[in-house]
Amino acid sequence: MADDWRSERAEPLAVGPPRRRLTRRDRIKEARVQRRRRVAAVTALVVLVVVVVGAVLLGSTMWNSLFGDSGGGDYAGDGINDVVIQVHPGDSTTAIGNTLQDQNVVATSQAFVDAASGNAAISAIQPGFYKVRTEIPAANAVNRLADPANRVGRLVIPEGRQLDDTRDVATDAVTDGIFTLISDASCVDLDGDRTCVAAQGLSDIAAAADPATLSVPAWATDAVVALGADHRRLEGLIAPGTWNIDPSAEPQEILATLISASTAQYEESGLLETATALNISPYEVLTVASLVQREALPQDFSKVARVIYNRLAEQRTLEFDSTVNYPLDLVEVATTDGDRGQATPWNTYVRPGLPATPICSPGQPALAAAEQPEPGDWLYFVTVDLQGTTLFTREYEQHLANIEVAIRNGVLDSAR
């Protein structure tokens, strides 16, 4: 029965053309064709990517050329933000342009160079700090740098200034000290916001910072350390002259920069060699120069320096009123008995030798006088008239007579 059922089943029928049996040679040929197709597809994809990237780069270059950015062209408009840039000593126009481009002030250095061509103000521009704006046309940048009103951070310290403000006893006028001058020079308006380094902040740093971080020279370090946390320990270490300070710098950085530059200036004048020749320290020479600056007129600087050295050699107290007035922040020709009796590190009526620090920042003429005093045996001097005539002598009796002349001429008070 089972055999009969199987014999009655229909046989399956083939559908479609008959399948050709591939030879080994045919299979190898077909595989080669497939590989060629895949390589062609990959190559086409790579070419497409290169074309797209090239199109993007070309479009970017054309955009920069037309509208300007750091890659080319020029900016338009009034800028975005105020910014301060620095012109370094010896900077060429190209170097200034590079600084402007780096700070995103101009689109390219070349645009600035082209705009500045033939501009006398840019050719003669002084090193320093200048306020400009980001993303401005190159011609605008030229005009801003050429405008003196945009120079910031310019500090001028006159000869004979001390760190603190001083008050003239006779007129009650206040003279700005070096800390105040630095504070004023640091002020800058950026996008309507005015900032300044506070004079008190400078004083606090002068008192507290490590001398090394303030660039105090080795020849002044012991004297600075000896005065402890008194801000006056930096007196005399910032030389008079014209300086450039970064308005964005911290107080410590500003002081360190000024002291470092002043040290270089002092040493270039021969301070170290002179100190060796005089057999005293460079700091003592600087202190003598500060006394000369405060005690005499320029025509008498070298004679007053000799008086100081003569009195020190004979171990006499200097007895200078300027050293009495110094810690009082006063300017006065004569002093009171009470003031002269105060025991301070500077009062040379009660302190033997030199004051603890310089009493001001001496100018080059005073420093030169301290380095090369005029020959003489004088021990006393006094200014005897309002024109500044000063009489010098070695004899005390003659000095008393000269004082009487000063009293008669109204220079000194007879009650002194």
Do both 168 and 212 map to the same domain? Answer: yes
Which of 88-92, 211-215, 384-388 shows the lowest mean pLDDT across its residues? Answer: 384-388
Helix then strand then coil, in percent of the chain rounded to 5, is 50, 10, 40
Structure tokens at 178: 């070096």
Mean pLDDT confidence for 217-223: 98
Mean pLDDT confidence for 396-411: 94
Do both 147 and 159 map to the same domain? Answer: no
Average pLDDT, the chain: 88
Do both 259 and 279 map to the same domain? Answer: no
Of the pLDDT bands very low, low, confident and very high (cuts 50, 70, 90), residue 243 is very high
Structure tokens at 358: 């310089």
Q: Give residue-wise pLDDT tens across range 70-84.
A: 445 899 999 999 999
Q: What is the rounded distance in angstroms from the CA atom of residue 409 to the CA atom of residue 391? A: 14
Residue 14 lies in a domain: no
Residue 75 lies in a domain: no
Say if residues 153 and 246 touch (Cβ distance below 8 Å). yes
Q: With 60 as the cut, is the pLDDT of residue 1 above it? A: no
Q: With 70 as the cut, is the pLDDT of residue 227 above it? A: yes
Do both 247 and 183 map to the same domain? Answer: yes
Taking every pair of C-alpha atoms in the chain, what is the biggest distance, in angstroms? Answer: 166
Do both 369 and 248 map to the same domain? Answer: no
Do both 308 and 339 map to the same domain? Answer: yes
Of the pLDDT bands very low, low, confident and very high (cuts 50, 70, 90), residue 411 is confident
Q: With 90 as the cut, is the pLDDT of residue 414 above it? A: no
Q: Give residue-wise pLDDT tens across range 358-386.
A: 999 999 999 999 999 999 999 999 999 98
Q: What is the rounded distance in angstroms from the CA atom of residue 341 to the CA atom of residue 55? A: 88
Residue 146 lies in a domain: yes
- Domain count across the chain: 3
Do both 260 and 276 map to the same domain? Answer: no
Last residue of a domain, one of 222, 243, 265: 265
Q: With 80 as the cut, is the pLDDT of residue 197 above it? A: yes
Residue 300 lies in a domain: yes
Last residue of a domain, one of 108, 123, 152: 152
Do both 193 and 126 map to the same domain? Answer: no
Structure tokens at 392: 């010098």
Q: CB count, 10 Å around CB of 85?
A: 18
Q: Give residue-wise pLDDT tens across range 46-61.
A: 556 554 545 544 554 4
pTM: predicted TM-score of the whole model, two decimal places: 0.80
Burial class (CB in 10 A: 0-12, 13-18, 19+), 295: buried
Residue 6 lies in a domain: no
Do both 283 and 336 map to the same domain? Answer: yes
Listed residue (145, 128, 134, 144) closest to 246, CA to CA: 128
Burial class (CB in 10 A: 0-12, 13-18, 19+), 40: exposed
pLDDT at position 71 is 45
Do both 261 and 276 map to the same domain? Answer: no
Q: Give residue-wise pLDDT tens across range 269-283.
A: 999 999 999 999 999
Last residue of a domain, one of 125, 152, 179: 152
User: H-type helices in 81-170, by residue range?
Assistant: 93-102, 109-116, 120-123, 138-146
Do both 183 and 146 map to the same domain? Answer: no
Find the domain containing 213 and state its range.
155-265
Mean pLDDT confidence for 285-310: 97
pLDDT at position 29 is 61
What's the Rg (C-alpha) of the chain? 40
Q: With 50 as the cut, is the pLDDT of residue 127 above it? A: yes
Residue 328 lies in a domain: yes
Q: Residue 154: phi, psi to the nearest 5?
A: -85, 120
Q: Give residue-wise pLDDT tens across range 102-119.
A: 999 999 999 999 999 999
Q: Give residue-wise pLDDT tens across range 257-267.
A: 999 999 999 99
Residue 289 lies in a domain: yes
Residue 38 lies in a domain: no
pLDDT at position 67 is 46
Q: Containing H/E element for 152?
A: strand 151-152
CATH number at residue 137: 3.30.1490.480
Do both 387 and 281 map to the same domain? Answer: yes
